[in-house]
A and B are shown apart, each in its own frame.
Chain A
Amino acid sequence: DAGVIQSPRHEVTEMGQEVTLRCKPISGHNSLFWYRQTMMRGLELLIYFNNNVPIDDSGMPEDRFSAKMPNASFSTLKIQPSEPRDSAVYFCASSFSGSRGSARYGYTFGSGTRLTVV
């Protein structure tokens, strides 16, 4: 298995532009998570999906952020419009969860997308 695949690895964009981050989870995993990592705030959970359904988006900073999971093998995180304070490393992770959504195994993280908004 190639693991969790994220694209792009690096993204530099101008303030106000739309940014779309992509993630392909591990086949067979039914939970997918988007995290943001900065020096100041550490690893923050933005949103997670279970069986393609958004379960908890309480970590999404504001309406400029949206996430979708149209099928079990693909998810996107979109920022529109982007702002300099959105600069961070965005990680996607996947895992297999039990029937009540509890993760019984560890998360597998992708390599991340380093976003810089200038």
Chain B
Amino acid sequence: GQQVMQIPQYQHVQEGEDFTTYCNSSTTLSNIQWYKQRPGGHPVFLIQLVKSGEVKKQKRLTFQFGEAKKNSSLHITATQTTDVGTYFCAPRGSSNTGKLIFGQGTTLQVKP
């Protein structure tokens, strides 16, 4: 099955600092999605990356897909308290099945 490692598991930052979470796969991926779950909430879709080396930005969030399509990252510039939550990567392997398997997630705490 699809093996993916998401690091770090937890991250505490001071408001205004940057934050990055990484998602690493042992196999080549077809695409990867990122989700955010606020405390007590449900996962919310952020973005999908498909192309090798792809970079997409959403305001202070920057998403990257590795050249080999085996890893991805989410970078948040100048964190705010509203960024608190757990960020999940959800990679899809080359078998192109319909199901999405979520990584373990990175929980971000932001101190004001």
Asked whether any CB of chain B lies closer than 8 Å to the CB of A25, the reply is: no
Asked whether any CB of chain B lies closer than 8 Å to the CB of A65, the reply is: no
| Contact status of A45 and B42, CB under 8 A, knowing A102-B92, A106-B48 | no
In chain B, what residue has the closest Cβ to A93?
B43
| Contact status of A107 and B100, CB under 8 A, knowing A42-B105, A43-B88 | yes
Residue-wise, chain A 88-107 has the 8 Å CB interface mask toward B (1 for contact) of 00010100010011110111
A101 touches B97 (CB 8 A): yes
B-side interface size class = 20 to 34
Contact with A91, one of B30, B42, B100 (Cβ below 8 angstroms): B42
Task: Name the prevailing secondary structure of the B interface residues.
Answer: loop
Asked whether any CB of chain B lies closer than 8 Å to the CB of A31, the reply is: yes
In chain B, what residue has the closest Cβ to A59?
B99
In chain B, what residue has the closest Cβ to A48?
B99
**Could you tell me the distance in whole angstroms from the C-beta of B42 to the nearest C-beta in chain A?**
4
Residues of B close to A33: CB separation below 8 A? 99-100
Residues of A close to B88: CB separation below 8 A? 43
Residues of A close to B98: CB separation below 8 A? 31, 48, 50, 55-56, 97, 100-103
**Could you tell me the distance in whole angstroms from the C-beta of B58 to the nearest C-beta in chain A?**
13
| Contact status of A102 and B97, CB under 8 A, knowing A42-B104, A43-B88, A43-B102 | yes
**Could you tell me the distance in whole angstroms from the C-beta of B93 to the nearest C-beta in chain A?**
11
**Could you tell me the distance in whole angstroms from the C-beta of A89 to the nearest C-beta in chain B?**
8
Return 6 A-B CB contacts under 8 Å, by A number. A42-B102, A48-B99, A55-B98, A102-B98, A107-B35, A109-B44
Interface residues, chain A, CB within 8 Å of chain B? 31, 33, 35, 42-43, 45, 48, 50, 55-56, 91, 93, 97, 100-103, 105-112
Q: Given A33-B100, A111-B41, 9 other A-B contacts at CB below 8 A? A: A42-B102, A42-B105, A43-B43, A48-B98, A56-B99, A91-B43, A100-B96, A107-B33, A107-B35
